[in-house]
Amino acid sequence: MVSLRLRLRPVSLYLLPVLGAPFAHLYAQETALAAVNVTAKGYSATDLDTPLSVTTLGRDEIARRGAANVGDALRGEPGIAVSSDSAQGQNPVIRGLARESTVLLVDGMRLNSAQPAGAVASFMTLGLAERIEVVKGGASVLYGTGALGGAINVLLPQAKFAPGGGVDAGAGYDSASRGLRGSVVANASAGDHALMAGASLARIGDYQSPEGSVARTGYDSGAFIGQYRFRIDPRQQLRLSLQQQQDKDVWYPGSTRPHANPSIRSTTVHSPTQERRLAEIGYNRQGAGEAPLNLDLRAYRQAMERTIHSFANGLNRDIVANRVTFQTDGIDAKADWLLHPQHLLSFGLNAWKMTGNPDRYMAATPPFTTLSANNPFQNASIAAIGAYVQDDMRFGKLNLLAGLRYDTVKSGADSMNNGARTSGLAGKDSAVSGSLGAIYEAGALLRPYASIARAFRAPGMRERYESGLRGDGYYYAGSPEVEAETADQFELGIKGANATLDYGVAAYYNKIDNYLSGMVFGGAAASSACGATNAANCKKTVNLASVTISGVEAHARWQFQPGQWLNAGYSRVRGQNNDLDEPLFQMPADEVSLGWQGKVAAGWTADATLRLVARQDRVATVFARGTENATAGFATADLGATWRYAKDQSLRAAIKNLADKRYHEHLAEGVSGQEISAAGRGIDLVWKGKF
Which pLDDT value is given to residue 117?
A: 60
> Taking a C-beta distance cutoff of 8 angstroms, is the pair 259, 267 a contact?
yes
Q: Is 272 left (phi over 0), alpha (psi -120 to 50) or beta?
A: alpha
Lowest mean per-residue pLDDT among 247-256, 335-344, 517-526, 624-633: 517-526
Q: How far apart are CA 396 and CA 92, in angstroms?
A: 37
With bands split at pLDDT 50, 70 and 90, how would you rate the model's confidence at 15?
very low
Range of 41-50, 90-99, 449-458 with top mean pLDDT = 449-458
Question: CATH assignment of 16-690?
Answer: 2.40.170.20
Distances (CA, A) of 569 to 97, 448, 485, 629: 19, 19, 30, 26
Rounded to an integer, the average pLDDT of 202-228 is 95
- Following DSSP, what letter does each residue of 287-329 receive, concatenated? --SSS-EEEEEEEEEEEEEEEEEEEETTTTEEEEEEEEEEEEE
> Taking a C-beta distance cutoff of 8 angstroms, is the pair 115, 86 a contact?
no
In this structure, the strands spanning 179-190 and 193-204 are antiparallel
Q: How far apart are CA 488 and CA 510, in angstroms?
A: 6
Q: How far apart are CA 411 and CA 425, in angstroms?
A: 8
Rounded to an integer, the average pLDDT of 528-552 is 87
Q: Has residue 300 got a pLDDT over 50?
A: yes
Q: Has residue 115 got a pLDDT over 70?
A: no
384-417 per-position pLDDT tens digit: 999 999 999 999 999 999 999 999 999 999 998 8
Bigger pLDDT: 302 or 533?
A: 302
> Taking a C-beta distance cutoff of 8 angstroms, is the pair 187, 196 a contact?
yes
Backbone angles phi, psi at 526, to 5 degrees: -70, -40
Which pLDDT value is given to residue 472?
A: 60
3-state secondary structure of 657: coil
Sequence-distant contacts of 324-327: CB under 8 A, at least 24 apart: 324/114, 324/116, 324/356, 324/358, 324/359, 325/356, 325/357, 325/358, 326/112, 326/113, 326/114, 326/354, 326/355, 326/356, 326/461, 327/301, 327/302, 327/303, 327/354, 327/355, 327/356
3-state secondary structure of 30: coil
120-161 per-position pLDDT tens digit: 667 777 889 999 999 999 999 999 999 999 999 999 999 999
Rounded to an integer, the average pLDDT of 536-557 is 92
Rounded to an integer, the average pLDDT of 52-79 is 91
Backbone angles phi, psi at 661, to 5 degrees: -75, 130
Q: Where are the alpha helices (DSSP H) in 531-684?
A: none
Rounded to an integer, the average pLDDT of 44-56 is 92
660-676 per-position pLDDT tens digit: 999 999 998 887 778 88
Rounded to an integer, the average pLDDT of 166-187 is 95
Give burial (CB, 10 Å; 0-12/13-18/19+) of 578.
Answer: middle
Task: Note if the bond before 367 is cis, omega within 30 degrees.
Answer: yes
Task: Note if the bond before 358 is cis, omega within 30 degrees.
Answer: no
> Taking a C-beta distance cutoff of 8 angstroms, is the pair 269, 255 a contact?
yes
Q: Has residue 23 got a pLDDT over 70?
A: no
The C-alpha R_g of the chain, in whole angstroms, comes to 25
Extents of the domains making up the chain = 16-690
Please name which of 301, 415, 315, 302 lies closest in space to residue 358, comparing C-alpha atoms.
Answer: 415
605-624 per-position pLDDT tens digit: 999 999 999 999 999 998 88
Lowest mean per-residue pLDDT among 8-17, 77-86, 362-371: 8-17
549-590 per-position pLDDT tens digit: 999 999 999 999 999 999 999 999 999 999 999 999 999 999
Which pLDDT value is given to residue 121?
A: 64
Backbone angles phi, psi at 120, to 5 degrees: -55, -35
3-state secondary structure of 526: helix
Which pLDDT value is given to residue 26?
A: 36
* Percent of the chain at pLDDT exceeding 70: 93
Rounded to an integer, the average pLDDT of 614-642 is 93
**Confidence (pTM):** 0.92
In this structure, the strands spanning 468-469 and 501-521 are unpaired
3-state secondary structure of 140: helix
Largest CA distance in the chain: 76
Which pLDDT value is given to residue 119?
A: 57
Q: How far apart are the first and last CA of the chain?
A: 31
